[in-house]
Amino acid sequence: MQSITQVMRGHKPVIAVVTIVHPAHALSIAKALNKGGVSILEFTLRNKHGLDAIKIVREEMPDLCVGAGTLIKPAQFATTKKAGAQFSVSPGLTPALIRAASDQQTPYLPGATTPSEIMIGIENGFSVLKFFPAQSSGGLNFIKDLAGPFPEVKFCPTGGVDESNIHRYLSTDNVLCAGTSWLTPQKLVQEENWEELTRRARIMTKSLAVI
């Protein structure tokens, strides 16, 4: 089973976290973000349209790295893999989710925010963990503190990550990547303001040049 690091190789470490309300928007969103330099998308399963979005973008834009987010049930690993998801993300971790990811041979990014959860992740072979919700769970200072007891673990902070702080997160040694929904606010998507999505993507990726 590939690791998250292997799946993301060759892509910039900004993951666009996208919740689709209208399936017809999926491809336009992907094109707008990719035009701005973002090539990793995580479509959440917070509603029924996430799977359709994964299928559409994987078929039409195979060079992008497309994953499924908000997996909270073991059965979702099989359905997202069938849809074409290249990786899966959960807000937390449970033994059942870990088993399902292993059974499906799915590159998996489980969530962990406490030392105990991180230790469970380590015991199950994970060296990259999602840190969610990042800002309200202690933010950058807490992530830096975790480097002491867990030097082998890297994190993907998500939740409250935006243009004001992503550079600081990605400049931190124990941060591998960062997930953000700032790129695709529902108001802009509903307005079909794809130019603004591209502009936001360029802001994010431009900041990576000085890291």
181 to 44, 50, 116, 166: CA distances (angstroms): 10, 15, 27, 12
Q: Which of 82, 130, 152, 187 is catalytic?
A: 130
Residues 170 and 176: their CA atoms lie apart, in Å, by 7
Cβ(131)–Cβ(169) below 8 Å: no
Closest CA to 14 of 38, 46, 47: 38
Give the phi and the psi of residue 171 in degrees, each rounded to 5: -85, -5
Cβ(43)–Cβ(83) below 8 Å: no
Chain CA centroid to CA 17, Å? 6
Known active-site residue 42: yes
Sign of the Cα pseudo-torsion (100, 79, 75, 129, in order): positive
**Residues forming a β-bridge with 178:** 14
Q: Which of 12, 31, 35, 42 is catalytic?
A: 42
Kindly provide the residue ranges of all beta strands, DSSP E only, lying in 152-206, ordered along the sequence. Answer: 154-157, 178-180
Cβ(153)–Cβ(129) below 8 Å: yes
Active site residues: 42, 130
